[in-house]
Amino acid sequence: MLKKSPIGIFDSGFGGLEVFREIVKLLPEYDYIYLGDTARAPYGARAQAEIYKFTEQAVDFLFKQDCALIISACNTASSEALRKIQQNYLIKNYPDKRVLGVVIPAAESAAELTKNKKIGVIATQGTVASESFIRELKKIDKNIEVYQMACPLLVPLIETGKENSKEMELALEECLKPLIEKHIDTLILGCTHYGLLSDKIRDITGKGIKIVSEGKIVAEKLKDYLKRHREIEEKISKNSLIEFLTTDLTEKFQKLGSVFFGCEIEVKKVDI
């Protein structure tokens, strides 16, 4: 009998839980393991070699838990490590398994939405430096102009419970005003944490700028991927079971994790 396996979801911390929430909402029948590498988060300002090493360790851990497919719900990991994981590591170690990211689905959605071909991206320093959004958007349409802003203050403010503070308001204005001045008509929230700030971002950008938040987009793309890849879909177990794992179990993870996921979660600490 064919062995059944869960879908793995990986992030450096909490932000991926918002993406995961949308995936579970759209595809509730599958089994899932969520892994947050909170002991080493955030990844945004780390060196590329470190990000790759951490991502490889997380992928290896989840495949050893029998995951059939992994979603890297971390923009920094998707930007800095995913291609190397797909082109080298998987081929050598897990040739029948797949790791998907969040950058390409967001880029595809933004390219479909833009009318004036001016797209803004707010993200971590690591994602901006990788130019992954520029690369993917230019692949779709070389005439698209991409304007990026690194927003290093946003994640720490969210993770210290200051998403409704004056500091957050000022940080968002500092990130967004230069992009608005470039007359963008579409904005990619290039960090999974930023989905929590969608309404505040909308208050600053106004209704004329379309906002691409990754949760629903990634969930829809995963559903489509599983329809097209039955050889993978058939391996995934369907008991609606969810396991939450973290590399650093703290009260903060329990509290913030529940906020991002939208309901109370129980988390277990693991070493990877």
**Catalytic residue among 74, 151, 175, 263, which?**
74
Q: Which of 264, 260, 268 is nearest to 192 (CA)?
A: 260
Count of beta carbons in the 10 Å neighbourhood of residue 255: 13
Q: Reduce the DSSP state of residue 191 to 3 states and report it.
A: coil
Q: Which of 140, 162, 187 is nearest to 256 (CA)?
A: 162
Element (H, E) at 173: helix 166-181
**With 0-12 CB in 10 A as exposed, 13-18 as middle and 19+ as buried, what is 58?**
buried
Catalytic residue list contains 175: no
Q: Which two tokens stand for residue 270?
A: 């693991």
Sign of CA dihedral 54, 59, 64, 65: positive
CA distances from 43 to 166, 168, 261 (A): 25, 20, 20
**Catalytic residue among 67, 151, 175, 191, which?**
191
Catalytic residue list contains 191: yes
Q: Which two tokens stand for residue 40?
A: 């080493």
Catalytic residues: 74, 191
